[in-house]
Amino acid sequence: MIGGGLLVFTFFPGVLNAIGRIFGIPRGADVLVYGSIIFLIYFVLLLLSKVERNRHDTTMMVREIALQNSPKYSYSAGSVFLLRVYNEAPVLQKVLENIYSEWFTNIVIVDDGSTDGSCEITEKFAKKHSHIIVLRHFQNKWAGAALETGFEYIRRYLDVEFIICFDSDGQHRIEDLKKFHNAFEKYPNLEVVFGSRFLSKKNFSNIPFMRKIILKLGRIFTRIMSGAKLTDAHNGYRVFRKSAIQKIRLTTDGMAYASELIEQIMRMNIPHGEIPVTILYSEYSLWKGQKSSNAIFIAFHTIWSKFFR
């Protein structure tokens, strides 16, 4: 159509001028300029959409292979820990031992294509202890994909009431888990409880200044996009009832999954709440964690997923 239009306009330039007058454009040549800009914008959006679909299809393949190759343990338990692991070898052993020493023996680990020896640590730990399940992505697909892989394994095989999402970089404290249980006991209708760094002045003072700014901006952005009145939208310490993850399906690979998760919770009116937790910031966790500049990408990806996917 574009090629045919160019031929017509070349041999019959009066047609172009007539079209321009319809839209209030004095020069017919300007119609081609404006039309080209519109077409280029459309073409860029089309390419981004195709790239996004291809990435989604690859992620689905990686996740399904991980699920098919995983040990199929079916057991009933009150709760299970869900850990996402990507190159956490320096602290991973300590984190796993800390969980296990507190008599939390049910752990699902999703190794998201680690290359630093984390996989060997988790496999060794699983052989030593029962009810430790290790799933492995053969390619790094980032936090959202790893979390959804763990959710899907639990949906298919485990009869549990609570799923405890716990970071593998040593930032979360087992001691705070009592607060989550207290929240569920006090409000039995809750299906999701989020940890928050901002509900306690003591916890708030522990956060590096630049991280505070980014997290506060993220809170405002999340409220605008989803309407959720959460104080710490991107805190990875969360506890779900299994009934909640039966409804939720994450499609975002990267850290922007947190915004998608909250958007789904709000859209489906899943009862949720927040409790104060302490995040332990160490030299390692600050070096390994999300860079402040990633907030721009997360915001862009959230907008893209909501309006253009």
> What's the CA angle centered on 290, arms 286 and 292, to 5 degrees?
95
The whole-number pLDDT of residue 291 equals: 64
Looking at residue 138, the DSSP 8-state letter turns out to be S
The shares of helix, strand and coil residues in the chain, as percent rounded to the nearest 5, are 55, 15, 30
Write the pLDDT tens digit of every residue in 26-70.
Answer: 777 777 788 789 889 999 989 988 998 999 999 999 999 999 999
- CATH number given to 75-307: 3.90.550.10
Q: What's the chain's length in residues?
A: 309
Percent above pLDDT 90 for the chain: 62
In 189-291, where does DSSP find H-type helix?
A: 201-204, 209-226, 242-245, 257-267, 283-288
CB 93 within 8 A of CB 119: no
The domain spans of the chain are 2-55, 75-307
Instruction: For the chain, list the strands marked E by DSSP.
Output: 76-85, 107-111, 132-136, 159-167, 192-196, 238-241, 272-276
Write the pLDDT tens digit of every residue in 159-213.
Answer: 999 999 999 999 999 999 999 999 999 999 999 999 999 998 776 556 777 777 8
What value does the mean pLDDT take over residues 63-88? 94
The whole-number pLDDT of residue 137 equals: 98
Tokens of 171: 């930032």
